[in-house]
Every structure is written in structure tokens, then in C-alpha cells.
Structure 1
């Protein structure tokens, strides 16, 4: 299990810059270790997220073009020199993760490659769109703008990426695949939490460390992805559900709990279709529940872990009674919504 040194987290996010950009700089080994640990978590999250949305694409009513790339901006880090050294970037924007069996992997792109241009548009010439990225911290707005532009280009077809590897540049054609919608990120935090906001699935770095295997990791990511695929945020907004303190009471609590039940039920189908062991959801919540009570959340909006396990067992039994088609099980919560 990867260990991240949380006292160093302040070194890993944007802040006052340390002048360590020279090639002979004396880089701090603990900071390098922490950066590489975070990159490994990013890579696991990217791989799991891609696998889930790709494997379940035929059951999603909306699709998005995807390459399997995860980009990173050295401006996100307080010590940009150490970040470049640890992550292997030549330029300001680099590839931090490539999902296995993705178009990016087929194009032989690798973590550490620097992104120089998209369809011959130089990265340095891309104007940051502050109006579209206003919800992001300033240091994240450049990569947010680039990601948005890349998604728009991919929606129109193939793209060409110019990358640098070891100082040698090459242009690579990428043919995207259509998957379920979804974005995934590791949120650097000392708490254990996972969230879904309708588009993004976020897992805290400390929770990501807690997983014993990728199947457990996938259980939590699939649960949050299920919230987004079932458009739970839109439903709760339409019901005028209070997400604050009063959301733990009365009708609001019951409506939130209904969405949590649905997300638990759908999650094991998403896992099974992506080749993850759905029994891992039972193993994870049993272990976590025994150690921490109700689980990640302690509010009345979530079942206690034993009832969650019961839900998983019921859904796994339904799958066992079905005949898969091409190795996949049609998730009732997605197919019934069509």
C-alpha cells in the first residue's frame, strides 16, 4: 500500500514557488517520494475510472469521446522544479497517467511525456478561459482549459497530439472511443471521503491509500460513478432537497438515502462488467464498517455497513441468475431508465 506523508501535502499544491528549477538542484527526497506516491494514486484512479466507463458504454444513454489520458500542470505544485524532476515533464503540461487498453496506450503515450500541441495548436498559445474555469483555483485553470478544449476536439473526431519525450518531439494521431460520461480525480486530503458532483468522481488521497486492492478501489469509484450516471444530483435538485444540516432529517434524508441505495445497487453491476470482483464491495465495506462504524459517512442518509452488504449480496445474486451477453450484465437501473 502506498504511503503518503501528509505533513508534506502543503508542498504539493500551488503556493509560493521555491527556486529549484536548475538541473543540479538539491531536490528534497521526501517531496519526490510524496509526488511519486500521488502520481501512482492518479494512475490507479485513471485506470479504474476508464475501465468502468468503457466497459459499461453500451448501457449509457449519453456518451463522451475519451483517450485514457490524464494531464497534469506543474503550476499546481508549490515547488515546480521538484515536480518536473519527480514527474519527468519537460514542459508545463505533461501526461501523468495513461489508462491500459485505451487509445492513448495504443498510441504508446507514457507518463512523463510533455504535451506540446493539440492539432498543431501550441499549448503555450492556448488562452486560459477564466470564465469557464472560474470554479477552479488559478493554478488549475490552464489544465482545465486544455482539458475542455481537448474534449471538444475529440467530440469532432480524431486528434493529433505533439508530445516530447526525453527532449525528442513527435506527433501522434489519437482515435478516441465512446464511453459513458465521467471524470475522475484524486483529491489531496487527510480525510477519508469520496464524492460525486454530477460530472466528477473524487476520492481523497487518504481513502485511496486505504484500499487493499484495485477491486476495492473500484467498488467506491463505481458507487460514486453510479450517482452521476443516474443523475442523482439533478433529481435531488428538482426535489429541492436540502444538502446541509437539515438534509439529515425528514424527507430530504429519505430522498438522499434512496439515491445511496440505488448507487450501491448499480455499483456492483458496473464493477462486474469492467472485470472487477463485485465481492470486493462486500469485503471493503465489511472491513471499513467494522473499523469505522457506518462507513465513509455517518449521517442518517446512508445505511449502516451491514445493510449495504445485504444490498450488494442481493444484486450479485441477480447477476448470478442471469445469462451474460458477451460477458456483460445489463444493469436494471440503467436499462430500465431507457
Structure 2
């Protein structure tokens, strides 16, 4: 994850900074607070993202092996020693967040655990120069390679992770959950934005701070996840749709808007199946639209907020007429019944 330093809102995280009782005099308190605030956002997004992909797995034609872990590499930070202290790591790679009701939680893994090895292979020995990592900035290649290795190993069998906790090493077996594919990240930025690239859902830190509830947070995450599940990026690329400045006009704008409408429609089904209140999408966009008018998400490629709210109301009404199966609603856009 990209980490650009600035002080986030003064939220506090209940977990201790580390095994130390108080920060060393050389550590900067302001940076520690920013890191802990960022970790809180990571916790929220990791939990929401995992819950969405896990609950909707029966309707995804492709599956990915997931543990519910969010890993972090201190190499991503300018001040690595302060980052290690704030996150509670004793080494370079550690666990930042564990999603509730995930295999990682069942294995009793915890934020602050330091990752030492995967199936006896030390993290220092994992190759980071593969062609599939070439587009990753150098500080992020190691954690990307580790995530890739864990996912590949989980697809074959359970994985054993060797961790360090409180100065003691232990090897813990971790099972796999086959979920809808997608990963999630907080992107530290002063703008309010969210995006999906086909594999990753990214939410800016400033937007994440704006949500009043996890249901509102889930509304935006579900919208971006819907883009990934519906393979909109591949579809638009196949049609040579311009997603840059000129994509705001003409045929490209129409194609992008159609994808945005589909993502809005699917999002409330994904939310409902994961136990989130779909009405939160209406509350969020009403509040955002009234406060920011023609700001973010109001280009010609998106509905204006009032029409967007109307779309949600119509889709939620359609959901009300659907018959649940095993407590879930089959999303028409994923089951081909649309």
C-alpha cells in the first residue's frame, strides 16, 4: 500500500503500540499516531472487504483462497524503525489486521504478529523479481510476493505460517476460505476517492474517514467490488473505451456510465448478503450529495446524486421481491438472470 505521510484524524486504536510500555525518545509521537490511525482504517476496510467477498462467494464464477490477513512491510515507510514500533513488528513483515470470522481469526493470528516463514520458507528467501511483480514499486514487491505465495499455497492445501509474538516463535496452520476474488487497500491521500482496477479495491484515507458507519463504508466498497466482479475494466478495455479526460465525452462516457449503473445496482445485493444495511447507500449519497454537490463522483460518467439515490431505491425494492435461498439473495447481474 502506498503510504504518504500526513496526520489523520485523531482516532485511537485499542491495541497496544508494541510490547514496549512507552515509545523511545527517538520516535516521533505524531508519526506513531498517524500510523495507528491508518491501521484503524486498514482494520475497518479489511473486515468489510473480507465480509463482502466471503458472503457473496456462492455467486462468483471465480474464487480466490483468502485467509482474512492483511500484511504490511516496514520497507514501505520512510521511517522504518518508527513504523516497526507503531505496528508492533519485531521484523520487517507483520500482520496489520485480521478480519473477523476469517480463517486467520480461527487460527488466533493477531495484529502485531511478525511473519517469519511460509511453509518453512523464510520470508527473506521469497523471490521478488518475478515478471508478475515488475509493475509493483520496489518497496511493495516483497509483501506482494508473500501474498501471492500464500494464495497459491492455500489453493493446494493449508498453509503453516511461522510467526514471532512476544519474543516467542510458533508455527500456526491456517486454512483457506474460497471467496470472491478481490483485495482491498487504504490509499493515503487528501482527496476523497475510491477505485477498482479489476483485482484491487482502493479507498482513499480521507474518504474512509468521512464514513459515519461501517454500513456507509461498505456501500462504497461494494460498488467498487462490483466493478471487479463484473470485470468492467476488461470489458471497457476490449471496447477501447477511453477512461482518461476524453472518456468524459461521447460514446466512452456512455459506456463508463453504463458500467457505473451496473456497479450501483449490484452493490446493494452484495451489501445485503454480507449483512450490511443497503439503505446506507441512500443515506451516504444523500449526505454526500447535499454537502458536496457536483464534487467527487459527479462527472458525466456517473449519475448525479439524486438520480443515483433513485436507482438504489428501485434496486432495493426489486430485492424485496426476491426469494432468499439459504438466507442469501442471488444477484441477477452475477447469476445471468438480469
Normalised to the residue count of structure 1, the TM-score between the two structures is 0.92
Closer/same/farther in 2, CA of residues 246 and 24 from structure 1, 3 Å limit: closer
CA displacement 1:209-236 (0-9 Å, x = unmatched): 0000100000000000000000001111
Asked if 1 retains the 8 angstrom alpha-carbon contact of 2:186 and 2:204, the reply is yes
SS for the counterpart of 2:132 is: coil
Asked if 1 retains the 8 angstrom alpha-carbon contact of 2:67 and 2:102, the reply is yes
Asked if 2 retains the 8 angstrom alpha-carbon contact of 1:285 and 1:295, the reply is no
1:330 aligns with 2:337: no
Residue 180 of structure 1: aligned partner = 180
Residue 124 of structure 1: aligned partner = 124
Residue 215 of structure 1: aligned partner = 215
Q: Return the alpha-carbon distance in structure 1 between the equivalents of residues 8 and 83 of structure 2.
A: 13
1:268 aligns with 2:268: yes
Q: Return the alpha-carbon distance in structure 2 between the equivalents of residues 294 and 107 of structure 1.
A: 46
**What is the Cα deviation at residue 5 of structure 1?**
8.0
**What is the Cα deviation at residue 284 of structure 1?**
0.3
Residue 16 of structure 1: aligned partner = none
Alignment size in residue pairs? 322
The answer for unaligned runs of 5 or more in structure 1 is 10-22
Residue 164 of structure 1: aligned partner = 164
Normalised to the residue count of structure 2, the TM-score between the two structures is 0.92
Spell out the pairing of 1:298-313 with structure 2 (5 A cutoff). 298-313=298-313
Asked if 1 retains the 8 angstrom alpha-carbon contact of 2:219 and 2:268, the reply is yes
Asked if 1 retains the 8 angstrom alpha-carbon contact of 2:7 and 2:30, the reply is no
Q: Return the alpha-carbon distance in structure 1 between the equivalents of residues 111 and 130 of structure 2.
A: 27
Q: Return the alpha-carbon distance in structure 1 between the equivalents of residues 113 and 93 of structure 2.
A: 9
SS for the counterpart of 1:208 is: helix
Residue 146 of structure 1: aligned partner = 146
Residue 58 of structure 1: aligned partner = 58
Q: Return the alpha-carbon distance in structure 2 between the equivalents of residues 126 and 31 of structure 1.
A: 30
Spell out the pairing of 1:29-40 with structure 2 (5 A cutoff). 29-40=29-40
The answer for unaligned runs of 5 or more in structure 2 is 10-22
Q: Return the alpha-carbon distance in structure 1 between the equivalents of residues 8 and 184 of structure 2.
A: 23
Spell out the pairing of 1:1-338 with structure 2 (5 A cutoff). 6=6, 24-294=24-294, 296-336=296-336
Asked if 1 retains the 8 angstrom alpha-carbon contact of 2:52 and 2:274, the reply is yes
**What is the Cα deviation at residue 163 of structure 1?**
0.6
SS for the counterpart of 1:6 is: coil
Q: Return the alpha-carbon distance in structure 1 between the equivalents of residues 283 and 158 of structure 2.
A: 41
CA displacement 1:216-273 (0-9 Å, x = unmatched): 0000000000000000011111111111222111111001000000000000000000
